Structures are given as C-alpha cells and as structure tokens.
C-alpha cells in the first residue's frame, strides 16, 4: 500500500538510480527498496505503473516514497518482440489485457521473416545445446506468473485444441511461424494431434506455415507415411556439429516444398555442410543475458556455402555479442554481416508475400 505522503529517504545509499527494474541496492540495516507495480490496459496494450517504496525490513511497512513514476511502455522484462530463434531468439509475444482483466498473448510476430505465430501446443523439454537458454521457457514461466491460462502449467507440454482453428478464421494470406513456444514434433504430442495440425494447414492454402524442430528424426518418421502440405515449410535447428548437423540429413528425407535450416543460436563453426535440397538457411547469434558469442567467420562460412550451393541466406541478428566480440544490446549489435543485411527468402517468396 502506498504511504500517504511522500518523504525523502534519509539514507544516502538508499536512493535508486532508476525506477525499474533495478533500483539501487539498499545498504541500510533495516530498509530496502521495493518496487510496486500496477498494471493497466491503455489503448489495448499492457502498461505498468511502478512506484518504489522504501520499506522497513522488520515490519514491512512503507516508510517513504522514494520515487514514483508511470511507465509508458510494456513491462520491462516482457519484451514485445520475440525472436526465439525462433526457439531462443524467437518472436516475443505482445501482451494485452481485456476489460475483464485477463491477460492475453497476441500472436502478431516481430520475427524478421514471419507474420504471425500459431501455437496449437505450448511447452517443451530441453534436448540439445541450442536449448540451454531457451527463451520460450523463460517466457512461459513469466506468462504463468501473469495468470495467462495457456501457461498455467508453465513450460509443461500442453495441447491447446481451442487454438487449432485459428488459421481457418483468418482470410488474409499470412506467414505463420508454428509453435514458437514449443516444438511441434515433441515426443509427447500424439500423431493424431499432429494430423489435426496438418489438416488445418492443408485446409488453408492462402497461408504459409514455417515449422522448425529439433526433433528432426521424429519429423522424418512422421512424414514417411504422409505427404506434407505444399504450404508447409519444414526446418531443423542446426546450432552445432554434434547435435545440429545430423538433423540436416533427416530433413532431406521430408517431402516438403521448402526445407530450411535455422542456425541459431550458432554456437560454433559448422564446417562443411551439405545443402543439397535445402532451400533456405537462417543464421543468428544468441540474445539474452546469458548469450553465447558467435564468431563472424562461422556465419560467413555458412553464407559462402549457401552461395555456392544455391540456398537462400538470411542473416537474422548478431544477438548479445557484436561482430567485434563485445557484449551489448541486441539492437545495438544489429544485423549487418560484411557491412550489409542478408534477407534472402526461398525462391518465389518475399517478406511482403
């Protein structure tokens, strides 16, 4: 509860240097700073009003308002652009709250090469080095804390049947990234449910669907007895040599019209890779506080191999470490490689398709 009158805190080291999310540390024996937030829906977006109180540690009573401010942006820590890697660098959900107070996650994506996300399942389990700092896991736990129904079990795998028909209701041709918060070929997703997902895809030829998995072998087995809809782009994550590169051979067995690789987060030099029958390769570095660095030579090696073997090349981002090997924000590091952007898409497609 807010104290009735603002009163300066007398302890010199108790003053915060910023209002949120990290007020300066309180060194006083009894006092600490505690941010309080009130969430509200403004123009359909989710905003936070934050007030920092100086709190007596012993009886938890607010003593003074250190700083009071209104933030005119989405809650820090809940970015409105995801890029998980898709998985790790993927699209950040955007949050809104309806008048009844329920928090919703919007599906409009800010991934550089897709329009929207569609998550007929949520939740997953880590399977390889690329999962180490899984962004979807962190987001799922935050959404659980915010009371979002779809994430009431956090990152445990859930089938969300009520979302199956979402693309059927959208007439405007759209590029969907499927399962930005899960892995569609996770071993706990029954084949019968996969059939229903691909029935929706086949029934909506006005849309394109990008499906990326680390369970490449399961995907290949699933399609041994089925045709992939022509509007399904199927891809695998290739983050390193040991776990990622073998997935390329599994992908080649899949009868998809577009096969793609997501080399993100790129964790090492992949060496020579066979891009036969691979149409598109995305490369990116890891973002987030625990991001692992990417060397420019690793990305350039893939770019040159794409040129030589006829695959489209898309450089998504540097992530948390820049081309110069320095750590800074993802946006400051940008997405230039060899002084330019690389936004190639598979033949016949462009970003405004």
Interface contacts to ligand SF4, rule CB under 6 A: 87-88, 124, 126-127, 130-131, 134, 136-137, 182-183, 214
Cβ proximity to ligand SF4, 62 vs 130, nearer residue: 130
The span from the CA of 282 to the CA of 338, in Å, is 16
Question: In the bound complex, what is the minimum distance in angstroms from residue 29's beta carbon to ligand SF4?
Answer: 43
CB 91 within 8 A of CB 116: no
Cβ proximity to ligand SF4, 184 vs 273, nearer residue: 184
The span from the CA of 224 to the CA of 250, in Å, is 11
Place of tokens 């590029």: 175
The span from the CA of 92 to the CA of 83, in Å, is 6
Bridge partners, residue 243, by sequence: none
Question: In the bound complex, what is the minimum distance in angstroms from residue 90's beta carbon to ligand SF4?
Answer: 8
Cβ proximity to ligand SF4, 63 vs 163, nearer residue: 163
CB 216 within 8 A of CB 261: no
Question: In the bound complex, what is the minimum distance in angstroms from residue 211's beta carbon to ligand SF4?
Answer: 12
Cα–Cα distances (Å) from 196 to 174, 189, 199, 305, in that order, read 19, 11, 5, 37
* Length of the chain measured in residues: 353
Cβ proximity to ligand SF4, 87 vs 112, nearer residue: 87
Nearest to 14 by CA among 30, 22, 25, 6: 25
Cβ proximity to ligand SF4, 86 vs 103, nearer residue: 86
Q: Where are the beta strands (DSSP E) in 2-161?
A: 31-42, 45-56, 62-74, 94-97, 103-106, 116-118, 121-122, 158-159
Cβ proximity to ligand SF4, 132 vs 253, nearer residue: 132
Cβ proximity to ligand SF4, 53 vs 113, nearer residue: 113
Place of tokens 């962004």: 135
Cβ proximity to ligand SF4, 120 vs 130, nearer residue: 130
Question: In the bound complex, what is the minimum distance in angstroms from residue 98's beta carbon to ligand SF4?
Answer: 27
- Alpha helices of 161-256 — where are they, by DSSP H? 191-202, 216-222, 246-252
Question: In the bound complex, what is the minimum distance in angstroms from residue 130's beta carbon to ligand SF4?
Answer: 6
The span from the CA of 34 to the CA of 177, in Å, is 39
Q: Map residue 265 onto helix, strand or coil.
A: coil
Q: Is 270 exposed, middle or buried (0-12, 13-18, 19+ CB in 10 A)?
A: buried
Question: In the bound complex, what is the minimum distance in angstroms from residue 206's beta carbon to ligand SF4?
Answer: 27
Question: In the bound complex, what is the minimum distance in angstroms from residue 236's beta carbon to ligand SF4?
Answer: 11
Cα–Cα distances (Å) from 88 to 65, 134, 314, in that order, read 38, 5, 17
Cβ proximity to ligand SF4, 37 vs 125, nearer residue: 125
Question: In the bound complex, what is the minimum distance in angstroms from residue 214's beta carbon to ligand SF4?
Answer: 4
Distance of CA 249 to the CA centre of its chain: 26
Question: In the bound complex, what is the minimum distance in angstroms from residue 91's beta carbon to ligand SF4?
Answer: 12
């Amino acid at each position: 509860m807010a104290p009735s009158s603002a009163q300066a805190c007398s302890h010199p080291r108790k003053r915060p240097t910023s209002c949120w999310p990290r007020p300066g540390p309180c060194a006083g024996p009894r006092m600490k700073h505690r941010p309080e937030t009130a969430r509200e829906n403004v123009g359909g977006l989710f905003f936070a009003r934050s007030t920092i109180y100086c709190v007596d540690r012993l009886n938890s009573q607010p003593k003074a308002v250190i700083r009071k401010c209104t933030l005119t942006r989405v809650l820090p820590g809940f970015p409105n652009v995801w890029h998980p890697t898709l998985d790790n660098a993927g699209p950040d959900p955007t949050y809104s709250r309806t008048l009844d107070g329920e928090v919703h996650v919007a599906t409009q994506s800010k991934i550089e090469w897709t329009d929207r996300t569609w998550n007929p399942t949520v939740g997953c389990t880590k399977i390889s080095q690329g999962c180490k700092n899984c962004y979807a896991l962190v987001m799922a736990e935050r959404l659980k804390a915010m009371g979002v129904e779809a994430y009431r079990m956090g990152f445990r795998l859930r089938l969300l049947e009520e979302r199956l028909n979402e693309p059927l209701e959208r007439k405007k041709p759209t590029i969907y990234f499927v399962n930005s918060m899960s892995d569609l070929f996770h071993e706990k997703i029954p084949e019968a449910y996969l059939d229903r997902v691909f029935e929706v895809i086949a029934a909506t030829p006005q849309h394109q669907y990008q499906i990326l998995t680390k369970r490449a072998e399961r995907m290949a087995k699933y399609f041994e007895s089925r045709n992939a809809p022509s509007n399904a782009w199927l891809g695998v994550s290739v983050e390193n040599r040991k776990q990622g590169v073998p997935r390329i051979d599994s992908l080649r067995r899949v009868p998809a019209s577009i096969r793609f690789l997501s080399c993100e987060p790129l964790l090492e030099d992949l060496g020579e890779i066979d891009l036969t029958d691979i149409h598109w390769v995305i490369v990116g570095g890891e973002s987030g506080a625990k991001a692992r660095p990417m060397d420019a030579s690793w990305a350039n090696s893939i770019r040159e191999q794409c040129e030589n073997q006829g695959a489209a090349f898309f450089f998504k981002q540097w992530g948390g470490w820049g081309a110069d090997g320095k750590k800074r924000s993802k946006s400051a590091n940008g997405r230039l490689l060899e002084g330019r952007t690389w936004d190639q898409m598979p033949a016949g497609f462009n970003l405004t398709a």
